[in-house]
Amino acid sequence: MSFFQNSAYNTAAINTDVYVNLAATTERKVIKGIIWSMSAAPASAAILSIESSVGTVLTSVDIINGGPGFLPFDHRGLACANAGAVQVLLDLPASANTVGKLTVLYETD
């Protein structure tokens, strides 16, 4: 399988959290990497998190710098336990004066 089999992208208005929702399907999702960008460094840390459809946090990372960033997962990826929906969130602080962008790279099997 190619590393870039599937991707999902979203952006939002200034000071607005950015969500990428991977809808429930008959196939399991394996996240290979997450790319984000913020137009400026936030006043306090932005939080990048991945949650299952039942609200279980699979991972959560603080982001303190503006500009682009990449969170890769090893060749196995971050597998979601079932074929349910997955939500990736870039949670921006309210006073960030920042625009966020988010791309999720994933495979299905």
What is the residue range of 89's domain? Answer: 6-108
Q: Give the C-alpha separation, 3 to 77, whole Å.
A: 10
Contact 69, 63 (CB under 8 A): yes
Note whether residue 73 is domain-resident: yes
Q: Give, as one character, the DSSP assignment of residue 90.
A: E
Per-residue model confidence as pLDDT tens digits over 37-71: 999 888 888 899 988 877 888 889 999 888 999 99
pLDDT of residue 109: 77
Report yes or no on 1 lying in a domain.
no
Condensed to tens digits (0 to 9), the pLDDT of residues 59-106 reads 899 998 889 999 998 777 777 666 567 888 888 887 668 899 999 998
Say how many domains are in the chain: 1
Full-model pTM: 0.84
Is residue 63 a part of any domain in this protein?
yes
CATH number at residue 39: 2.60.120.20
Report yes or no on 36 lying in a domain: yes
Q: Examine residue 38 and state whether it is found in any structural domain, yes or no.
A: yes
